[in-house]
Structure 1
Amino acid sequence: MTSAPENTEPRPTTAETRAVRTHRSRRRRALIAGATAGTLVLGVGSAVAVSQAHKTVTLDVDGETRTVGTFAGDVDGLLAAEGITVGDRDLVAPAADSPLSSDAEVVVRTGKEVDVAIDGRESTAWVTAADAHEALNLLAQRGEDVALVASRSEDRADLPLQVHDGDQVAVVHDETVDVADGSDELDAVLADVEVEVDEDDTVTLSTAADAGVRADDLPEGTDVPQVAVVVQRVEVEQVTKVKEIDFETKTKKSSQRFEDLDPKVRTKGEPGSRTVVREITTIDGKTVSDEKVTSLVTAEPVTEVLVQGTKERPEPEPEPEPATSSGSSSGSSSGVAASTGSYSGSNREIGQQMAAARGWTGGEWTCLESLWTKESGWSHTAANPSSGAYGIPQSLPGSKMATAGADWQTNPATQIAWGLDYIAGRYGSPCGAWGHSQANNWY
């Protein structure tokens, strides 16, 4: 601060002498006004005296305005006297080296770095504005769609500016528009309308027009504010899904299995699984991002292995002459003439005798007994109404058994003889036929 000349009176310092100082200022202004022509020829010393005269000026610092009495000769001297340090990004008007006259207005705007979104692209910018409304006006020339982006700290939305000093603002949230006093910091404005935000939500400030605020959205008689605070609810969720992986099938050849048999399942195929985690982001309930986070095979599929026979089946033995029997049911006990001899007893006993004649005893007989018990219960009149299968071996159709004898419908020995030939020709043995029946429910 510049000191007063030696021939001036001491500088007033108390409220009590402020009236005297005002009076002196008026007197000096009258003297200066009365000597207008003379001011053109004033010497340097006279100019210094005028610059150090007491003045009353208006000082506006970031929107806070006050009246200041000062002896400073220029703007820089005023700021120094008031303890205001100006940085490179701050704004001072008039310029710091401008002469200071009484009733002048000095404006100081502190430069503040803000996050902005201009036409959909986010960046940072330095603004010298008192509030968000003024900042939006300054940034409007940079693009058509301009918004200030509040920084986030847990559940707090922060902006280094007041929202709109002295005016109301619209708060757009959760499909609702509220009106609040903008003469405060952003988090206080949100609290005023009881709007809470979490760490994922976004808070931006734009003009009410850009935010789509209309008079219909507001209480009747309420003017549409110039600034809108827009709260968007952001949800980020990870969704896990398990997808099935189909198994492959491979077929192997085997010379130990007859070629006319259906492939045998050696290893049962099992599907695998893949676990996919996706991150889905929604804004106000609408999906804006759906990204795959991980995709891992959590269970490998098991390849199914089939065995296909390549062994040729031998030619069937000549069919035996049909036997005769006076028995008519599985419980009958009478003599039956077969191609290789006579058999007697129940149908099951006749079957055991005829199987033994082929060498099928022990385990082979057990397989045969199980097979035809399952098929017909050893009844030579058993008929399947849906398929047409008939007799002890359940020939399909039953008339096939005519090759063993014309009495195929009534003679159990004839049916058994045909059935044994069929098993020998197709499966080789009763156990081969029984195994196929267990796997496929038919033979």
Structure 2
Amino acid sequence: MSNSKYQTYEPYGVEPQSDLRGDLHTAETLAYGVYAAPDTYDDTYRPAYEAPEPLEPTLPRQAGRAERRRKGRYTERPDSAMRRLLPQALVVAFLAGGTTAFVAEDKAVELSVDGRPRTLHTFADDVTELLAQEGVDVGAHDVVAPAPGTELTSGDEVAVHYGRPVRLTLDGQRREVWTTAHTVDGALKQLGVRAEGAYLSISRSQPIGRAGLELDVRTERSVTVMADGRARTVRTNAATVGEVIGESGITLRDEDTTSVPQDSFPRDGQTVTVLRITGTKEVREEPIPFEVQRTDDLSLFKGTEVVEQAGQAGLRRVTYALRTVNGVKQKPRKTDDEVVRRPRKQIVKVGTKPLPTSVGGADGLNWNGLATCESGGRPNAVDPSGTYGGLYQFDTRTWQGLGGSGRPQDAPAAEQTFRAKKLYVRRGASPWPHCGTRLHG
């Protein structure tokens, strides 16, 4: 078997016996981690399955065979060496190109998270991938610059600012806002709140943690106070109108008050009027009207009403507050109401009996002439003494003796004429000594 296809190599790590750094075989050795022996050495390689030749003088024929074997190995065609080196050169080129691509993908960026910067190397393509690789979680109220998804290049700066909740009460209005500022002062500037002359519930230098904080801000406002005919304008960050009144140097006395509630929040440009009040009390007794109750009575002629129980008005004692506001009298205001006496209702009987059509012996007389002479023809007429009343001037006793009820002047005209006829049948014209002659005239 020929040994021409085997090449002699030394194991990896064996130092070469001559300086081959300028030789092409040296590059081949560095690439693959082995060293190629120079062609000047004898080929002493023997496969394990070939028995070693005996150590005896080489015969001329045997020496010729070895010479021919060496000559055949090193007299190969020129392109055979190139074919052997080409795969090795490709490996070296691949390794060199891979290193260049590796370096090109690496980026040096500065990442600042909530004000803490650090420089790092990354293979991330954009901001979102960088934050994910670094374990930086961002929420809806956090700010990332440049925006997530922005492509990264070496030398870029990425900043993450965490949002912080601020439960803000601004001039009496409560709301929750978010800020990326680290202090109260920074938050006020970021939110556009005018802090000059304002009241702050905590210091401007107070740091704001991730959990946020409560903040009460009352900005400086201009409020005008009108009192005693004079206007006073004050700059204030007071929480109530009452505090503004005190800051203006005005004192409220007794029943004095203001045009707006003193515990209300004073607004910028607001005008508050002080009302000077003086007051007294007045007690008045007022009547309580009585109720009238009417009932039907078959014993009374129609149109006749008899008061069975006279009504009586009640009495109420009422207390009023009389006030004068800035010198102007106000409408009295009722403050107390006490019933001193309850009213008594009036009961009236109403006649329902039909009136008779005539009285024998008296129907043809001139009753109209008698009525005109006695009362001027007025059914409710009463003489100056109050004793006689009605068309025919009956006294109460005579009237009731004829069957009438109550007073004659309260009865209808027809009933009065009927009673007069009955009286005439009994006594003639004598009850009317001066006007009786008119009955026959």
**Scaled by the length of structure 1, what TM-score is found?**
0.27
Compare CA radii of gyration and give the structure with the larger one.
Answer: 2
TM-score of the two chains, using structure 2 as the length reference: 0.27
